Amino acid sequence: MSETLAELVRGLAAGRFSSVELVDACLAAIGRHRDLNAFITVDAGAARAAAADADRLRAGGGQAPLLGVPFAHKDIFCTAGVRTTCGSRMLADFVAPYDATVVEKLRAQGAVMLGKTNMDEFAMGSSNETSHFGAVRNPWDPARVPGGSSGGSAAAVAAGLVPAATGTDTGGSIRQPAAFCGITGLKPSYGRVSRYGMIAFASSLDQAGPMARSAEDCAYLLAAMAGFDERDSTSHARPVDDYVGGLAGDLKGLRVGVVREHFGAGLDAAIGAATHAALAELERLGATLVDVSLPNSAMSLPCYYVLAPAEASSNLARYDGVRYGYRARDYRDLEDMYKKTRGQGFGAEVKRRIMVGTYALSAGYYDAYYLKALKLRRLVADDFARAFAHCDVIAGPTAPTTAFALGAKSDDPVSMYMNDIYTIPVNLAGLPALSMPAGFVEGLPVGLQLTGSYMDEARLLRVAHRYQQATDWHRRLPPLS
C-alpha cells in the first residue's frame, strides 16, 4: 500500500474504496511479507468485522476522520481479548482484560486494528533484535535492523503492510526506527498521550506516539491519541491542539536551532551532509538557521542508562510468576520459583538492565549514581530551555548512522546504546520531537530530527509538513518483491 493515511482518509470519505477493501489489501500484504517478522499477532477476523462495521457506519453518515482506516498497535499496549506480549516470553500468552487508553481512543474513532507489531523485549533495545519472537528485518535491506524498540511498527509502515502504527519512545524508540526505515515518527511531550495500559519500561520517560509515512498522517493519529486521562497521574490537562488544521502555513520567520554538538565526532559524514542539505531546504522555505548549544547532551547517554534501568528494575519486579505471565514448571520452593521464572522468562538485554538498575538503586550507590543522574537530567532540560530562547525548533540528525547489519552490535551493548545519542536528551527533558525522511545514504534512509518546546507538537508537525510538501523523501518505497 503506497497511499498515505491522509490519502486513505480522504478516499474513504469520497467513497472511492471501502474499509473492507483496505483491510483485505493490508492483510494480503502482511501475508506476502511474513519474512520481515513485523507482526507478532494478526487478528484478521476481528479486523474484517470491524471494517464491515465501519463501512456500515459511514454509509449511515458516520464522519469520524479515522473511521475504517486500518492500522497496527505496537505490542506494548494492552488490548482486551488479544494477547499483549511486549516481545517477551514472560508475557507470551498474556491476554489483557482491558484496553489501554490509546487503544480505546483509536477504537472510538473507528480505526481498524489489524494486529500487534513486533518489538524489542519490554521496549529495551535499539535494533528490534531482543524480541522473544525473533528479529524484525528492515524493508530497505532485510539483512539490516529496522531500529528499535518500535521496529515492527516502523517496518510495517515502510513496507506498506499498514498505513500507520502506534509506537512508544523511552529514549528514541519511535524516532530511531522511523529514521532507519524512512518513515515519519513523532514522540509527543511527556504527558500529552496517556500511558494507562501501556506496559511500563521507565515510567518517567515512556511516551506513546504515531508512526506513519508523513507528518500529515501523524497529525491525524495524534489528534485521536492525545488528551487528558484521569487514570494516568502523569497525563497533562492542557487542551489538545488542532494538529490537522494547524498544518497550513509557511516557514517565514521560523528560527531553526542547529546544535553544534550534534555534528562532531561519531556522526557519519554522509549523514551529516544529508542533514545539512535538509537544513538548507528549510532555509530555502523561509526559515532562519541559528547556532545553539546543548553542552550537557554528551552526558545524556550515561544519565539515561542509570535512570531508565533503575525504573525498569522496579517496574519489572511484578513479573514473578505468581500473579500472571510465565511461570517456571519445575521448582523446589517459592524462592526457586521466582529465580527460575525470571531467569527463563526474561531475555539477556532485559536482565542486563534490571541488574544495572538494581545496582544503581542499592544502598551505598544511590547517591553516587541515581541521585547524580537526576541532577544531570535537570541540567539537560535547562540546556534546552536556554536554546529555545534563541530558536523555535531544533533540528539535526536523528541517528549517527544508517541501519546497521543484523547481529553487528549484539555483542557490544555500549555501541548499540550510542545509536540513541541524539534522541535521548529529548526524553530526559520531556519534550516533543519527530523524525522525518531526509535523504538516503547508499540506498538506506536518513532521518532529520525536529525538537520543539513543551507541548508544541503542532509547530513540529507544521514544519515537517511544509518540508514534505517540498520534497518526496517520505514518498520513496523500499524495493520489495
State the CATH number of the domain containing residue 451: 3.90.1300.10
Distance separating alpha carbons of residues 38 and 151, to the nearest angstrom: 8
Decide if pLDDT at 403 tops 90: yes
Over pLDDT 90: what percentage of the chain?
Answer: 94
Decide if pLDDT at 131 tops 90: yes
pLDDT at 364: 86
At a CB cut-off of 8 Å and minimum separation 6, what does 306 contact? Answer: 356, 360, 369, 370, 372, 373
Name which of 97-106, 243-252, 358-367, 390-399 the model is least confident about. 358-367
Q: Is residue 60 part of a domain?
A: yes
- 265-285 per-position pLDDT tens digit: 899 999 999 999 999 999 999
pLDDT at 77: 98
Q: Is residue 157 part of a domain?
A: yes
Q: Is residue 389 part of a domain?
A: no
pLDDT at 422: 97
Q: By C-alpha distance, which of 62, 84, 83, 268 is closest to 168? A: 84
Q: By C-alpha distance, which of 84, 66, 69 is closest to 1? A: 69
Q: Is residue 21 part of a domain?
A: yes
Q: Which residues are catalytic?
A: 74, 149, 173
Name which of 111-120, 141-150, 211-220, 409-418 the model is least confident about. 409-418
Q: Is residue 49 part of a domain?
A: yes
Averaged pLDDT, 319-326: 93
Average pLDDT in the chain = 97
pLDDT at 481: 65
Q: Which residue has the higher pLDDT, 247 or 411?
A: 247
Distance separating alpha carbons of residues 403 and 155, to the nearest angstrom: 12
Q: Is residue 179 part of a domain?
A: yes
pLDDT at 168: 98
Tell me which residue range forms the domain holding 102.
5-249+431-475
pLDDT at 156: 98
Distance separating alpha carbons of residues 315 and 84, to the nearest angstrom: 17
In 10 A of CB 240, how many CB atoms?
18
Please give the tally of structural domains in the chain: 1
Averaged pLDDT, 319-332: 94
Q: Is residue 79 part of a domain?
A: yes
Decide if pLDDT at 312 tops 90: yes
Averaged pLDDT, 431-438: 98
- Return the DSSP state at 126: S
Q: Is residue 180 part of a domain?
A: yes
Name which of 199-208, 415-424, 438-447 the model is least confident about. 415-424
pTM: 0.97
pLDDT band at 178 (very low <50, low <70, confident <90, very high): very high
pLDDT at 2: 85
